[in-house]
């Protein structure tokens, strides 16, 4: 398993890491939006921001919680519509081994 992407923050500033984890837990807690859609939203935002590793991990998490490959691609379409073709290039690099 790869090293946690925030390991240096965990080691050097555990209080900041704790705040980040609390926000993540709050964001992905049970609520009105089903978890798979929360992961798809986060994935699309990471695609828009050029975060290849984030897109990959979030796509996997979305599919583990019931999202289909078609839903993953539809989320990328939305990211492209709002943020542009760069989202698609980021997604292509991230999803090459996932879909």
Q: What is the pLDDT of residues 6-59, one digit of tens each?
A: 999 999 999 999 999 999 999 999 999 999 999 999 999 999 999 999 999 999
CB 73 within 8 A of CB 92: no
CA–CA gap between residue 29 and residue 43 (Å, rounded): 17
CB 66 within 8 A of CB 36: yes
The reported pTM is: 0.90
At 74, list the tokens: 């539809």
């Amino acid at each position: 398993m790869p090293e946690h992407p925030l390991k240096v923050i965990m080691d050097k500033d555990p209080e900041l890491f704790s705040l980040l984890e609390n926000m993540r837990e709050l964001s992905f807690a049970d609520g009105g939006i089903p978890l798979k859609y929360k992961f798809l939203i986060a994935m699309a935002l990471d695609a828009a921001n050029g975060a290849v590793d984030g897109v990959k991990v979030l796509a996997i998490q979305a599919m583990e919680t019931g999202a289909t490959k078609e839903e993953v691609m539809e989320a990328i379409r939305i990211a492209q519509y709002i943020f542009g073709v760069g989202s698609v290039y980021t997604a292509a690099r991230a999803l090459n081994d996932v879909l």
